[in-house]
Amino acid sequence: MRTMPAQATQSRAELYLRGDTYGTFDAQQDVLNRVRALETEGVLDEAAVAGEWQRIRTLNEDTRDGAIETYLEFAEWANRNGHSLGPAFERRTRSYLGLDQVDDVVVFPVVSLAVYEDARLQAVFPCSDRDRAYTVRDCLDAFERDDADWLDQFDAVTVDRAGPHLDTGLQA
């Protein structure tokens, strides 16, 4: 009886950059260049700039860009892993001077990286647990030193999509 060879997993990195910041362009470009190099070297099968988000989004103003939907997916992953997306992602309330209106908002980080294997969200950076913070740099360093087991410390969650919520058509 013949057995079929195991199907290789497809690795994908989605890079999210915040567009409304000043003084961070060089740092963002450094991360972008590292992600591009990992794709060129075949470490990642696919890498994309998944989108550019703004600093603050209210939970009810996300009808166009999918930033909150992405955040909720990342939060589900963090919860499953006993991690927090803070302090890089911050969820809080915002009130308005002279109004009774109070909104729940999410403050997004300057750079974020999500790593997928097939239809599973493997890890989100930055994140933290009780003992330490895991940065985008930590993840890229592990890929660059060919530490295939480093991501195994995180539990993946299945997602119902094959591409970014914020897809701008820009490729890393």
User: Which pLDDT belongs to residue 56?
Assistant: 79
Q: Does residue 1 belong to any structural domain of this protein?
A: no
Strand ranges (E), the chain: 11-18, 46-53, 56-58, 90-95, 102-107, 111-117, 120-125, 127-128, 133-134, 157-158
pLDDT band at 172 (very low <50, low <70, confident <90, very high): very low
The sign one gets for the Cα dihedral 106, 107, 108, 109 is negative
User: Which pLDDT belongs to residue 4?
Assistant: 34
Q: Does residue 96 belong to any structural domain of this protein?
A: yes
Determine the Cα–Cα distance for residues 103 and 57; give it in Å rounded to an integer: 10
Nearest to 83 by CA among 149, 133, 15: 133
Q: Does residue 164 belong to any structural domain of this protein?
A: no
Q: What is the pTM of this model?
A: 0.84
User: Which pLDDT belongs to residue 167?
Assistant: 47
User: Which pLDDT belongs to residue 151?
Assistant: 93
pLDDT in tens, 21-71: 788 889 999 999 999 999 999 999 999 888 778 887 877 766 556 888 889
Q: What percent of the chain has pLDDT over 70?
A: 84
Determine the Cα–Cα distance for residues 158 and 39; give it in Å rounded to an integer: 23
Q: Does residue 116 belong to any structural domain of this protein?
A: yes
Q: Is the pLDDT of residue 73 over 70?
A: yes
Q: Does residue 136 belong to any structural domain of this protein?
A: yes
Provide Rg for the chain, Cα atoms. 17
Q: What is the DSSP letter of 8?
A: P
Host domain of residue 47 = 11-158
Q: Does residue 145 belong to any structural domain of this protein?
A: yes
pLDDT band at 168 (very low <50, low <70, confident <90, very high): very low
For the chain, the domain total comes to 1
- The residue-averaged pLDDT of 109-117 equals 94
* Cα distances (angstroms) measured from residue 65 to each of 74, 152, 164, 169: 16, 31, 10, 13
The sign one gets for the Cα dihedral 49, 172, 136, 150 is positive
Determine the Cα–Cα distance for residues 133 and 114; give it in Å rounded to an integer: 15
Q: Is the pLDDT of residue 129 over 50?
A: yes
